[in-house]
RNA sequence: CCCGUGGUAGCCCAACUGGCAGAGGCGUCCGGCUCAGAACCGGAAGGUUGAGGGUUCGAAUCCCUCCUGCGGGACCA
């Protein structure tokens, strides 16, 4: 293609200018309104992929647009640089993870710069930088002191592939690891947890007011899984000292309890089982233990419920009636109290079990006449329920809870699906947990003055599956901060999601050697006004970062009003190739770098913006290259229009053509501005293409110089956040003193948005029969008269007079015969 | 199974509170320019809006049923 400008030369030159100009470096004393635009900081996996290009194009566009609107925009960049791939590479090649990671960072960073994205690079963060590690550890010790970090033994998720434990959030619904795909197994281990459950209610309630995609909010709500109900004690028959605690969301159905169930792992199993049933129960528990978690929770096939009678009976707290107690694997020890009352009349799972074991079904809600199902979970009046009879369900719930509480047999209770966040990882390439263990003083946080705790360099990476830290005697040796005696250092590192839970705060003030960040800087910049990233972080990162913000706020490290980190979130669509997500692990990458060398960064950016709505997934096809060519062609066309002397308007111009162009320009300004605000970049690009076409046409038709120059300058400005290099170059040639990205955003003149006439569509019985140019303020009578003046309309109508007229003037009139 | 979100020209996609199905691009075809081609410029063709029913003067848009793509949740008591 013949190029109007040398893409390589122009893009590299402007990138240098931006880097040196400091236009996008902002400081606390800036007097412009402050805003904060942030893309999720990346794991440095090597050269950029198309997902990065999409992400940073949206980010850069927002930064440049807001700057042109007069804001001081904080736009930092950093790297989430701890993680397993670097450690795996070390085992394979012997290269230290730091060296490996720094090299990958170099590749990604140069690609990001080549994209033309601008950042305040003074603020760059790397998670593995000792200065960052120090403060991650400092925050850990603060959480520990506040009781928000604790060590406990629990059945945890162990990934054999990654050779480490995982958080619940990192295990997929089918029981596999989200990273490696290996089947995760349960192990009882002593691990560090963060008490995220303390914030469950706030995490749920504050979702309401966030300007986030509904789908992300729904995912978080599901994950937190709040259930409101009651807990109560079911006393074992003949054992007044022994009671089984159950949780239910339907205390109103207790009169319909016909049996009860405990989880196989329940601690009271041994105490309640009768001698006669012991052998059968032991066999059942053994059988369940041998099932993988996947088999156990699988609901894909309709597998019958399995259970075994304990020989014991428990008593209904309301009626005193004794019902059989079972052990069944459909009750989970990890939720609620690990035991339930079973009401087959109103719960399908209980019904299924009752059917298998021939247990009675009692309804406590009157189903409608035509109800044909098994368990009835709908609305209705209470029946068979003593003092609750006749009440609607919500009232009956309240009455039942009040009854239980008055007699001390139960209490109102709220349960969550959310578990505490397991942060220990048995890996080397992560932030060491800053704890030492003393024989006399137990677990002690490393004092702030001794931070950071850094992993030693003299370690060997062997494919044993074990972290080298655990074998490093020098690292393990420590002294107790309380007594000064010998202590053993914790050798686990933190989940890398800990690093990403506070980096956005550090960006506000990464300079201070005295603190992780200054409260003043965080007050000034936070919350992030626009956060941009992938949907894959909907639960993990976004939930953890919200938790950290709330915890740090309660600790007084950030202001009391900062309860949410990200005011507005945008999640970009996924890029697929051949049906699956484009990713390094799938080996189906189309590297952006090749386009930098051919059509240039601007064309690739515009392609990503133009190809479809930003939130939609899109499939990379053979046609994508042709579409990128098309975007390149458009940019060249704009550049020519803006700079080619042979296209300069001549003479005094045609008045009609000039006005037509001015109206088109101002309509485009209005439309494109709206589209920027609502993240409709694909239609914004389309509108700019249309205006460019119009400008060429108007030039041909003899539009005058002021109207053409107005159009061209507006196109360049509105395109400047999208295609920064070309527009900067063209602008500098037209206005040698000016810098386009420091120009104000164009404003539409309302007078040019309206016209005197409009095309009125004339329908007869809903079908279009004619189109007539009319004054915008035409009356209904006038419009009918004009319409009846048309032969086509009169023929279709078949008479002189419509029986009915529907008018939406001046755009439409519909005549009914 | 439940929830959410899509299905418009060969392809990617527009269409504000229901009002001419089309803004833009890709591809295809025709013409101009050229010795010829590329590039460039001008123009054209292309439709049962996933299917069926309903509401309405009028439905891509609202309601119901079904088909289908994608995402999430799912013995969570």
The DSSP code sequence of A281-316 is HHHHHHHHHTS-HHHHH--SS-PPP-EEEEEEEEE-
Distance between CA atoms of residues A44 and A51, nearest Å: 13
Distance between CA atoms of residues A96 and A98, nearest Å: 5
Return the H-helix or E-strand segment holding A79. Answer: strand A78-79
Q: A145-159, A296-310, A480-494: which range is least confident on average? A: A296-310
Distance of CA A661 to the CA centre of its chain: 42
Q: Which of A537, A748, A623, A764 is nearest to A80 (CA)?
A: A537
Say if CB A665 and CB A710 are below 8 A apart.
yes
Instruction: Give the contacts of A462 (CB within 8 A, at least 6 positions apart).
Output: A91, A468
Q: A592-601, A705-714, A759-768: which range is least confident on average? A: A759-768
Q: Quick one: CA torsion of A135, A136, A141, A146, rounded to 10 degrees?
A: 110
Distance between CA atoms of residues A260 and A242, nearest Å: 15
Please give the nucleotide, over all strands, whose C1' is closest to the CA of residue A610: B25
- Taking C1' of B12 and every protein CA, the nearest residue is A611
Please give the nucleotide, over all strands, whose C1' is closest to the CA of residue A615: B5
Q: Which of A23, A45, A59 is nearest to A103 (CA)?
A: A45
What's the pLDDT tens digit per position in A51-84? 899 999 999 999 999 999 999 999 999 999 999 8
The whole-number Å distance from A337's CA to B77's C1' is 10
The arithmetic mean of pLDDT across residues A399-417, rounded, is: 92
What pLDDT, on the 0 to 100 scale, is given for residue A138?
98
User: Which is more confidently placed, A288 or A364?
Assistant: A364
Please give the nucleotide, over all strands, whose C1' is closest to the CA of residue A813: B19
What's the pLDDT tens digit per position in A190-219? 889 999 999 999 998 888 888 888 788 888
The whole-number Å distance from A66's CA to B19's C1' is 37
Please give the nucleotide, over all strands, whose C1' is closest to the CA of residue A341: B77
The arithmetic mean of pLDDT across residues A220-239, rounded, is: 90
The arithmetic mean of pLDDT across residues A18-24, rounded, is: 89
- Taking C1' of B15 and every protein CA, the nearest residue is A683
> Within 7 A of a protein CB, which nucleotides of strand B?
3-5, 10-15, 19-21, 23-27, 38-42, 57-59, 70-77
Q: What are phi and psi of A630, to 5 degrees?
A: -60, -40
The whole-number Å distance from A371's CA to B65's C1' is 21
What pLDDT, on the 0 to 100 scale, is given for residue A463?
72
The whole-number Å distance from A621's CA to B11's C1' is 10
Q: In the predicted model, is pLDDT for residue A402 greater than 80?
A: yes
Please give the nucleotide, over all strands, whose C1' is closest to the CA of residue A581: B70
The whole-number Å distance from A764's CA to B16's C1' is 25
- At CB < 8 A and 24+ separation, what contacts does A682-689 make? A682/A609, A682/A610, A682/A611, A682/A612, A682/A613, A682/A614, A684/A609, A684/A718, A684/A722, A685/A606, A685/A609, A685/A610, A685/A722, A686/A610, A688/A638, A688/A715, A688/A718, A688/A719, A689/A634
State the DSSP code for A647: G
What pLDDT, on the 0 to 100 scale, is given for residue A107?
95
The whole-number Å distance from A650's CA to B33's C1' is 23
Quick one: what percent of chain A has pLDDT higher than 70? 96
**Would you say the C-alpha torsion A164, A168, A174, A180 has a positive or negative sign?**
negative
What pLDDT, on the 0 to 100 scale, is given for residue A741?
95
**Most confident option among A49-58, A157-166, A786-795:** A49-58
- Taking C1' of B6 and every protein CA, the nearest residue is A616
The whole-number Å distance from A561's CA to B62's C1' is 42
Q: What is the pTM of this model?
A: 0.91
What pLDDT, on the 0 to 100 scale, is given for residue A676?
94
Distance between CA atoms of residues A357 and A304, nearest Å: 11
For A575, other C-beta atoms within 10 Å of its C-beta total 23
- Taking C1' of B14 and every protein CA, the nearest residue is A683
DSSP tally for chain A: helices H, then strands E:
26, 30
The arithmetic mean of pLDDT across residues A730-747, rounded, is: 94
The whole-number Å distance from A672's CA to B44's C1' is 29
Cis preceding-peptide flag for A452 (omega within 30 of 0): yes
Q: What is the ipTM of this complex?
A: 0.94
Say if CB A42 and CB A52 are below 8 A apart.
yes
Q: Which of A709, A714, A707, A713 is nearest to A655 (CA)?
A: A707
The whole-number Å distance from A244's CA to B6's C1' is 48
User: Which is more confidently placed, A718 or A85?
Assistant: A718
Instruction: Give the contacts of A758 (CB within 8 A, at least 6 positions apart).
Output: A773, A774, A776, A810, A811
The arithmetic mean of pLDDT across residues A553-557, rounded, is: 96
Q: In the predicted model, is pLDDT for residue A493 greater than 80?
A: yes
Distance between CA atoms of residues A658 and A651, nearest Å: 12
Q: In the predicted model, is pLDDT for residue A773 greater than 90?
A: no
Q: In the predicted model, is pLDDT for residue A467 greater than 90?
A: no
The arithmetic mean of pLDDT across residues A313-319, rounded, is: 95
The whole-number Å distance from A682's CA to B21's C1' is 20
- In terms of residues, how long is chain A? 817
For A749, other C-beta atoms within 10 Å of its C-beta total 14
Please give the nucleotide, over all strands, whose C1' is closest to the CA of residue A329: B75
The arithmetic mean of pLDDT across residues A456-480, rounded, is: 86
The whole-number Å distance from A221's CA to B4's C1' is 13
Q: A529-533, A568-572, A577-581: which range is least confident on average? A: A577-581
- Taking C1' of B26 and every protein CA, the nearest residue is A627
The arithmetic mean of pLDDT across residues A661-672, rounded, is: 93
β-pair type (A322-328, A259-262): parallel
Mean pLDDT, chain A, integer: 89
Please give the nucleotide, over all strands, whose C1' is closest to the CA of residue A637: B40
The whole-number Å distance from A815's CA to B58's C1' is 11
The arithmetic mean of pLDDT across residues A30-58, rounded, is: 93
Please give the nucleotide, over all strands, whose C1' is closest to the CA of residue A304: B75
Helix axis angle for A601-610 and A724-734, nearest 10°, is 120
For A328, other C-beta atoms within 10 Å of its C-beta total 23
User: Which is more confidently placed, A227 or A324?
Assistant: A324
Distance between CA atoms of residues A783 and A10, nearest Å: 56
Confidence class of residue A585 from pLDDT cuts 50, 70 and 90?
A: low
Confidence class of residue A301 from pLDDT cuts 50, 70 and 90?
A: very low
Q: In the predicted model, is pLDDT for residue A299 greater than 60?
A: no
Q: In the predicted model, is pLDDT for residue A300 greater than 50?
A: no
Please give the nucleotide, over all strands, whose C1' is closest to the CA of residue A696: B41
């Amino acid at each position: 293609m013949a190029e109007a400008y040398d893409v390589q030369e122009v893009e590299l030159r402007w990138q240098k200018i931006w880097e040196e100009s400091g236009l996008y470096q902002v400081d606390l004393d800036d007097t412009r309104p402050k805003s904060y635009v942030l893309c999720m900081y990346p794991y440095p996996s090597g050269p950029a992929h198309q997902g990065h290009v999409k992400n940073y194009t949206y980010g850069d566009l927002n930064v440049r647009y807001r700057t042109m609107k007069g804001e001081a925009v904080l736009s930092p960049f950093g790297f989430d640089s701890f993680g397993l791939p670097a450690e795996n590479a070390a085992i394979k090649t012997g290269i230290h993870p730091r060296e490996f990671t720094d090299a990958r960072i170099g590749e990604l960073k140069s690609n990001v710069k080549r994209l033309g994205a601008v950042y305040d690079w003074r603020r760059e963060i790397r998670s593995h930088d000792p200065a960052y590690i120090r403060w991650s550890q400092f925050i850990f010790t603060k959480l520990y002191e506040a009781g928000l970090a604790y060590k406990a033994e629990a059945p945890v998720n162990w990934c054999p592939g990654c050779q480490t434990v995982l958080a619940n959030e990192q295990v997929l619904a089918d029981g596999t690891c989200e990273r490696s795909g290996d089947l995760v197994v349960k192990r009882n281990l002593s691990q560090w947890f963060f008490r995220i459950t303390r914030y469950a209610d706030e995490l749920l309630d504050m979702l309401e007011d966030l300007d986030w995609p509904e789908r992300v909010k729904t995912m978080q709500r599901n994950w937190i899984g709040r259930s409101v109900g009651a807990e109560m004690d079911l006393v074992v028959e003949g054992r007044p000292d022994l009671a089984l605690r159950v949780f239910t969301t339907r205390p109103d159905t207790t009169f319909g309890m016909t049996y009860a169930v405990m989880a196989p792992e329940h601690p009271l199993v041994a105490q309640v089982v009768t001698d006669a049933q012991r052998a059968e129960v032991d066999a059942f528990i053994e059988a369940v233990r041998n099932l993988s978690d996947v088999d156990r929770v699988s609901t894909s096939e309709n597998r019958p419920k399995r259970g075994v009678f304990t020989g014991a009976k428990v008593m209904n707290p309301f009626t005193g009636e004794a019902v059989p107690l079972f052990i069944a694997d459909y009750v989970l020890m990890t939720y609620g109290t690990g035991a339930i009352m079973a009401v087959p009349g109103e719960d399908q799972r209980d019904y299924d079990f009752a059917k298998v074991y021939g247990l009675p079904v009692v309804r406590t809600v009157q189903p409608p006449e035509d109800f044909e199902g098994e368990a009835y979970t709908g609305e209705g009046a209470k029946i068979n329920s003593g003092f609750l009879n006749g009440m609607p369900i919500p009232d009956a719930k309240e009455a039942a809870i009040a009854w239980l509480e008055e007699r001390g047999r139960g209490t109102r209770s709220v349960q969550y699906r959310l578990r505490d966040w397991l942060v220990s990882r048995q890996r080397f390439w992560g932030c060491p947990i800053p704890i030492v263990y003393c024989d006399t003083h137990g677990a002690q946080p490393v004092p702030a003055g001794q931070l950071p705790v850094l992993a030693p360099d003299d370690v060997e990476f062997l494919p044993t599956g074990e972290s080298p830290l655990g074998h490093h005697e020098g690292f393990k040796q420590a002294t107790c901060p309380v007594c000064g005696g010998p202590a053993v250092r914790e050798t686990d590192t933190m989940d890398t999601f800990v690093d990403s839970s506070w980096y956005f705060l550090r960006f506000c003030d990464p300079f201070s050697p005295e603190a992780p960040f200054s409260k003043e800087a965080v007050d000034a910049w936070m919350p992030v006004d626009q956060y941009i990233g992938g949907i894959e972080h909907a639960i993990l990162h976004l939930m953890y970062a919200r938790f950290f913000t709330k915890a740090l706020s309660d600790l007084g490290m950030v202001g009391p009003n900062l309860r949410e980190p990200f005011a507005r979130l945008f999640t970009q669509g996924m890029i697929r190739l051949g049906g699956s997500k484009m990713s390094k692990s799938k080996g189906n990458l189309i590297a952006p770098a090749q386009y930098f060398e051919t059509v240039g960064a601007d064309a690739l950016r515009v392609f990503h913006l133009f190809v479809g709505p930003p939130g939609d997934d899109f499939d990379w096809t053979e046609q994508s290259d042709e579409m990128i060519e098309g975007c390149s062609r458009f940019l060249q066309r704009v550049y020519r229009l803006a700079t080619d002397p042979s296209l300069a308007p001549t003479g005094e111009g045609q008045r009609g053509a000039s006005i037509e162009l001015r109206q088109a320009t101002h309509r485009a300004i209005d439309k494109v501005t709206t589209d920027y605000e609502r993240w409709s970049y694909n239609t914004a690009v389309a509108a700019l293409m249309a205006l460019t076409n119009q400008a060429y046409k108007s030039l041909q038709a003899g539009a005058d110089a002021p109207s053409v120059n107005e159009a061209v300058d507006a196109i360049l400005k509105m395109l400047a956040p999208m295609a920064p290099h070309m527009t900067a170059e063209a602008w500098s040639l037209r206005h040698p003193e000016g810098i386009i990205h420091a120009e104000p955003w164009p404003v539409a003149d309302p007078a040019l948005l309206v016209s005197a006439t409009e095309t009125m569509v004339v329908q007869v019985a809903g079908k279009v029969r004619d189109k007539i140019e009319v004054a915008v303020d035409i009356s209904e009578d006038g419009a009918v008269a004009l319409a009846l003046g048309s032969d086509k309309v009169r023929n279709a109508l078949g008479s002189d007079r419509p029986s009915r007229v529907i008018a939406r003037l001046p755009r439409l009139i519909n005549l009914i015969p």
